Structure 1
Amino acid sequence: MAQCPVRSCEICENSPAKRFCKNCEQFICHPCEISHLKIRPCRNHVFQDADKVNVEVKTPICVQQEEFFTHYCKTCSALICYICLPTTHKTHDFCMIDDKAKETKYSLNKEVENVEDKIRNAEIKISFIQSTLQTFEKQAKSTKDIEERVAVIVGTLNDMKNDFLKSIDEQKLEESQKMEPEILKRIDATNNSQEALNKMKRAVDGKNNITLLNSFSDMTKTLKSISEMSNWKHLLVRVRFDPVSDLIPVQNYKNIKDSYQA
């Protein structure tokens, strides 16, 4: 496999470029990196190893001037370069990109925390619903002992026994068919929300300031969508189980008891 050519430092043009300034989008050697960070406007610039840089990902630039963005216009809610600033935006409210990026990151992180809380609540609700269904199934299973009680009763009780058992199975099937798809749907929605949120968190941490601000609107919409997916206002209706003994009409039970004792 052919190796990629070693880049030269874009500042001194002599040493191999081992580092990459994400703010300036320049490949720099180690000595020039140290000098770069001593310059007052560049003190907070972020560096990474040059071999980990995806050179295909380009930071947006000003279309009119073909210059890097340096400021953020609060009036226009747009990124601007140093040439556009004193011309088309000179009377507007603006600030440095780093300041706006810090504010934006804080806002996005708060939204992430809010969505995380909603996902946790969704998981709790799913757990409650699953527990409710399991309890119902155990209750339905435990009522099978009706067979032992009705086995000693003869005659007309056989028809009643079959009706009761059929009612239990129908109710169990009906409730299971109703609850299980809803549970699976909510599990999928929650997992999708978590996956989307994880992707958003990685995007917030991985983007440089300019890319972050350029993507802020789309990222906010995505967070709102995730939040709406996880915002369950109501729990599913709790499964209700009616013990078989409660379904037996009082008079019929008295007749059965008298018949059995006779």
Structure 2
Amino acid sequence: MAQAAASTCEICTGGPGEYYCQQCDQLFCGSCKLSHLRMKISKNHTFLSGPNINKEEKLLCIEHDEIFFFFCNDCDTPVCRICSVEKHSRHLMTDLTKSTEKLRSELVKTIESKITTSSQTVSKIERETKTYREEVKAVIKTITDDGKYLKNLIDKKVDSFVKLVQDEEHRVLQKMSTITKFYKGVFENCQQWQKNITEMETIADVLLLQKLKKLKVDVDNIDLKQVPERSSVSYINKKPSGTEIDSLFGELQFKEGQAVMEKTENQQNTRPKESQKMYTYACMFCRNEQISATEPSTSSNRYVFKL
């Protein structure tokens, strides 16, 4: 295929054919282009320029072998002058070049908006992740300090509480990491789309419109959902004077979005006097409580057990 950089002007046959007239299907040098645009009959002709102009890529109306000038909004297709009169006379039509430029402008704005939103969201998640991890560290330190205070009596409970916090931290961080990766992916995709749109500037309008429409589908398919409220964790400690291990611990609470996973307000010590030790635990989701003589497993993140 002949490239513009290796062709000569088809008017004067002396200068380099650096400019391609889409209406005349000819290559022009700079001087002939200016003369062409001064003529009344061709003053509105449009040109393509650049090292990769390929005349063979220009698409014509199959039926009339005419250049596409308009875009029929009713039929969602480019049309030539003859088609606009014969088949689309009562349809809503716009200038092909203007339609292409309008779509390109809308896409650029949409992508820029999503890049800004994605960037801001990633920054927010990273800040909140840092804050959450600091809270986790503070809670673990408090729990560990309580363990030292009750050294010989509560080693086992300290380990179970720390593990519960760390398991929840692991779950929450995994969730935050997934959201972060998603928005980073959106950010990278949008950057690539920006680059692609810039590289499309030398493509003929009819091809550019088709490519932009396809790109618009991909861009519109990105759904930037609202990020859930930041999860948090806290530990309310106390310094009891009793000797029973189960009564010496504070309340461990996890907050995720609007759902707070914690002990119920009407918590009571359910251990019968002078009888077998009993445990009360509640499901985080349905909040139904159960009583059992077997201590609930601390490896499960479904239950909040009451001491």
Fold in common (TM above 0.5): yes
Distance 1:142 1:156 in 2: 22
Q: Paired residue for 1:238?
A: 230
Say which is worse superposed, 127-136 or 144-153, in terms of deviation: 144-153
Which SS does the other structure have where 2:49 is aligned?
strand
Distance 1:83 1:177 in 2: 60
Q: TM-score normalized by structure 2? A: 0.64
The 1:192–1:172 alpha-carbon spacing in structure 2 relative to 1, beyond 3 Å, is: same
The residue identity in structure 2 corresponding to 1:242 is S
On the 8 A contact 2:68/2:78 being kept in 1, the answer is yes
Please list, as runs of the form range in 1=range in 2, the aligned pairs for 1:159-238 lying within 5 A after superposition. Answer: 159-203=156-200, 205-213=201-209, 215=210, 219-232=212-225, 234-238=226-230
User: Alpha-carbon deviations, 1:85-122, whole Å to 9, x = none?
Assistant: 55x24844576x7x342244224413431342233123
Matched, 1:157 2:148: no
Distance 2:58 2:37 in 1: 21
* Bigger strand share: 2
Which SS does the other structure have where 1:253 is aligned?
coil
Q: Paired residue for 1:62?
A: 61
The 1:179–1:91 alpha-carbon spacing in structure 2 relative to 1, beyond 3 Å, is: closer
Distance 1:145 1:76 in 2: 68
User: Alpha-carbon deviations, 1:196-245, whole Å to 9, x = none?
Assistant: 24423543x333334344x2xx523532431331432x2134212122xx
Gaps of 5+ in 1: none
On the 8 A contact 1:140/1:172 being kept in 2, the answer is yes
Q: Paired residue for 1:255?
A: 242
Distance 1:20 1:70 in 2: 19
Q: How many residues align?
A: 239
Which SS does the other structure have where 2:78 is aligned?
strand
On the 8 A contact 1:123/1:190 being kept in 2, the answer is yes
Distance 1:108 1:162 in 2: 59
- The alignment-based identity, stated in percent, is 18
| TM superposition outliers: structure 1 runs of 4+ over 6 Å | none
1:140 to 122, 136, 140: 136
The residue identity in structure 2 corresponding to 1:164 is F
Shift of 1:127: 1.8
The 1:57–1:165 alpha-carbon spacing in structure 2 relative to 1, beyond 3 Å, is: farther
Distance 1:149 1:90 in 2: 82
On the 8 A contact 1:122/1:190 being kept in 2, the answer is yes
Which SS does the other structure have where 2:79 is aligned?
strand
Matched, 1:79 2:48: no
Please tell me the root mean square deviation across aligned C-alpha atoms, in Å. 3.4
Shift of 1:15: 0.8
Distance 2:88 2:174 in 1: 65
Distance 1:185 1:64 in 2: 47
Q: Paired residue for 2:47?
A: 46
Please list, as runs of the form range in 1=range in 2, the aligned pairs for 1:124-135 lying within 5 A after superposition. Answer: 124-135=120-131
